[in-house]
Amino acid sequence: MEEKNFFFLHPERTQMLFLSCLEKPRSIEEVSILYKVPTTLFYRKNFLNEVVEKGIFKLEYVGRKPFLYSLFTEEFKNYFQISLTMLPTSRDLIDSFLDDINVLITFFDTTYFRGFWKEDVLRTLNKHHFKDPLLLTSLFSTTVALLTMIVLAVEKYKLPFEVAKTTLQTGKSFLLTKKAFPFNVSIGFAETIIKNLSRDDYIHCVLLKDTKVYRFLSRLFDEFVSSVSRSFLESLTKTFKKHKMI
């Protein structure tokens, strides 16, 4: 239930720690410095012990310093399911996310997805963002939607990888206005996702091809591609080939 889930009960503290400790174990002190909050925020009213008992984090000590590592257990799954239904987007898209929830959580737990949340990405947020209990779901869902679009461009439209990335960079405003993923994140965040995706990372994203999210977004992507001049795509491909980028 929502009222018992720590992501809703204590959104600022829980989300801040969860996102910060995805890539690797981080100490309370590191997170406090990153978001300019006092370390006491995470110890207040036995909070740290309770989130560990809930299975949200794995707790390790290096000397006397606690390090936390985020875990995708039932507490997160319950939060993700409930918060998806609260997002201001197409009900059909939300249903596809809900149907794919087990596949998506498996994807979230991959080395690639965890590795995305490095310190430079974390610094695009501030402590005030974490007061919105839908923040994690917004970030994760937008990431999945954008990566799925790149998979569509490569697998369905046979665009070279770098061309697919550039095309999506060009069309991100179109896609956002079409409410493919009007989650509570900025276009700048969308740019970061696309820019940071490497060829090696792409291999981990292909599993998204077997999701209902892929099938739903495929229809929207058809509309997007029809709005993009074919000559533009061909010209882009030639340019990349000329500079040996594909």
Per-residue pLDDT of the chain (246 residues; tens, 9 = 90+): 566 899 999 999 999 999 999 999 999 999 999 999 999 999 999 999 999 999 999 999 988 888 999 999 999 999 999 999 998 877 888 899 999 999 999 999 999 899 989 998 898 889 999 999 999 998 998 889 888 888 988 998 888 888 888 877 765 554 554 455 545 566 677 778 888 888 888 888 988 999 999 998 888 777 766 666 555 555 545 554 554 444
Please name the helix (run of DSSP H) or strand (run of DSSP E) that holds residue 239, with its range, or none: helix 230-242
Are 108 and 212 contained in the same domain? Answer: yes
Same domain membership, residue 226 and residue 115: yes
Q: Are residues 132 and 202 in the same domain?
A: yes
Question: Which helix (H) or strand (E) element contains residue 74?
Answer: helix 74-84
Q: Of 28, 54, 70, at which residue does a domain stop?
A: 70
What pLDDT does 234 receive?
58
- Buried b / exposed e along 144-170 (16+ C-beta atoms within 10 A): bbbbbbbbbbbeeeebbbbbbbbbbee
Which token pair is 51?
């989130």
Q: What is the pLDDT of residue 173?
A: 53
Closest CA to 180 of 86, 87, 105, 102: 87
- Write the DSSP symbol of residue 22: S
Place of tokens 């008992």: 53
Which residues form the domain of 44? 2-70
Report the predicted TM-score, pTM, of the whole model to 2 decimal places. Answer: 0.85
Regarding whether 37 and 63 lie in a shared domain, the answer is: yes
pLDDT at 142: 85
For residues 24 and 112, state if they share a domain.
no
Pair 196, 151 in one domain: yes
Q: How far apart are CA 66 and CA 43, in angstroms?
A: 11
The rounded distance, in Å, linking the Cα atoms of 40 and 224 is 48
**Do residues 143 and 79 share a domain?**
yes
Tokens 């493919």 belong to which residue?
180
Looking at 35, 70, 105, which one is the last position of a domain? 70
Q: Which residues contact 198 (CB under 8 A, 6 or more apart)?
A: none
Q: Specify the CATH number for the domain of residue 34.
A: 1.10.10.10
Task: Give the residues across from 62 on adjacent strands.
Answer: 65
